[in-house]
Amino acid sequence: MKLWLPFAASAGALLAVASFVGAGWDAPPVASEQLGFRGTGMFQHKDIETEAALKAANVVPPAPWQADPSGDKASDLYQNVQVLGHLSGDQFNQLMAAMTEWVSPEAGCNYCHNPENLASDEVYQKVVARRMIQMTQTINVDWKSHVAETGVTCYTCHRGKGVPAQVWSSSLEPKPAGNMTSNRNGQNVVAVNAGNSSLPQNALMDYLLGDKPIRVHANTALPTGVNTVGTMETEGTWSLMMHMSESLGVNCTACHNTRAFNDWDQSPPQRVTAWHGIKLARHLNVTYMEGLTPVFPANRKGPEGDVLKIGCATCHNGVQKPLYGVSMLKDYVDAVAVKGSTDVPDFSTYVPGKTEVLGGAATSVTQP
């Protein structure tokens, strides 16, 4: 008799029991959805318990009240209203009340304003908020290729926090010890933005800030010299794909037929939406976030001193459609679904605590 058999059987039995009752183990009910033609293996599998938690975390808050679009304009009622001056006084106050709940429910108005002088720009968060309103308007007007008619508001990303939970920046932590480990190319550490894998940890710098080519797929099994990308570029692309997958709570088949990753004709339409999403995130980081570098204090920047930036998870927060596709725009159409002033001040001149007015006070509106 082989003595190891009873031990192996006992270990197997203990493992089976642990899979159901042990800490950290889970055998949840799973819902499966077929996405592609039968035989392609294109399925999404979702943990029903996790889905219930996600739905509870993605409830759209109601508007504080239904605003009256008539009456005097905000630019006539208040000072230093540069982007929202086209709103009526009631619409302006409604948006301010909503933003308080979306971004700073505990600090209230004082998070962005000096309570002794609400018109002043001396609190840096007000300068940032004004630029973020411009960003939100741009997304809703110019990027329907990604957000469609659903659009976004401040709440899409902030969810009651001053800084959205899902942002990213460059990171070299943990620093290499030196010698042979000093050039690890951002690998062999936990890549938080790539599904906690050991893929390149700063790949988002290449693709969601820079415009490094993403496509690495060859059309032949063996090298021909036509496709010159190598393992390093492939791992970078893989890191980005892991980020997108984790951000949306989906697998590869949400955007690809995995028998032919490179073939657009065999891919679901969501791949086109995702392509626009990559371009959108890159545009927002370059045009809006990077420009605010002089305004943000050191404690609102990453470990390497760069500003916190936007990724797929910033809006999606683990679900394929942010807030499960529920639109908030109907209550704030005039505020964030049209463009107010697009003027950009010189942020390098801003001095927190001293600058009372940064930029002009234009109130023109560009309809979508």
- Position 84 scores a pLDDT of 97
Is 252 marked within a binding site? yes
Is 99 marked within a binding site? no
- pLDDT, average across residues 264-283: 96
DSSP string, 58-104: TPPPPPSSPPP--SSBHHHHSSS--SSTTSBHHHHHHHHHHHHHHH-
Whether 364 and 99 have beta carbons less than 8 Å apart is answered as no
- pLDDT, average across residues 165-184: 79
The answer, yes or no, to whether residue 368 has pLDDT greater than 50, is: no
What is the C-alpha to C-alpha distance for residues 283 and 141, in angstroms, rounded to an integer? Answer: 14
Q: Which amino acid is located at 15 in the chain? A: L
Is 112 marked within a binding site? yes
Which two tokens mark 358? 């940064």
- pLDDT, average across residues 134-161: 98
- Position 364 scores a pLDDT of 37
Q: Which residue has the tokens 């219930």?
A: 52
The answer, yes or no, to whether residue 22 has pLDDT greater than 60, is: no
Which two tokens mark 64? 């504080």
* DSSP 8-state assignment for residue 301: B
Domain ranges of the chain: 59-165+317-368, 167-310
Is 217 marked within a binding site? no
- Position 79 scores a pLDDT of 96
- Position 287 scores a pLDDT of 97
The answer, yes or no, to whether residue 298 has pLDDT greater than 90, is: yes
Is 45 marked within a binding site? no
Task: Supply the mean pLDDT for the chain.
Answer: 90
- pLDDT, average across residues 254-272: 91
Is 42 marked within a binding site? no
Beta bridge partners of 47: 30
For 114-130, what is each residue's pLDDT tens digit?
999 999 999 999 999 99
For 38-83, what is each residue's pLDDT tens digit?
878 888 888 888 889 999 999 999 999 999 999 999 999 999 999 9
Looking at the domain covering 59-165+317-368, what would its CATH class be? mainly alpha
The answer, yes or no, to whether residue 186 has pLDDT greater than 60, is: yes
What architecture does CATH give domain 167-310? Orthogonal Bundle (1.10)
Beta bridge partners of 44: 33
Is 86 marked within a binding site? no
Is 158 marked within a binding site? yes
Sign (positive or negative) of CA dihedral 332, 336, 339, 343: positive
Residue 28 backbone dihedrals phi, psi, to 5 degrees: -80, 165
Distance of alpha carbon 277 from the chain centroid: 10
What is the C-alpha to C-alpha distance for residues 143 and 69, in angstroms, rounded to an integer? Answer: 25
For 194-207, what is each residue's pLDDT tens digit?
999 999 999 999 99
The two most distant CA atoms of the chain are separated, in Å, by 94
DSSP string, 150-216: T---HHHHHTT-SS-SSEE----PSPP-SGGGS--TT-SS-BGGGTTBSS-TTHHIIIIIS------
Is 276 marked within a binding site? no
Is 241 marked within a binding site? yes
- Position 228 scores a pLDDT of 85
User: Burial code of 146-167, b = ≥16 C-beta within 10 A, e = fewer?
Assistant: bbeebbbbbbbbbbeeeebebb
Q: Do 167-310 and 59-165+317-368 fall under one CATH topology?
A: yes
What is the C-alpha to C-alpha distance for residues 180 and 361, in angstroms, rounded to an integer? Answer: 56
- Of 10-14, 58-62, 321-325, the one with minimum mean pLDDT is 10-14
Is 312 marked within a binding site? yes
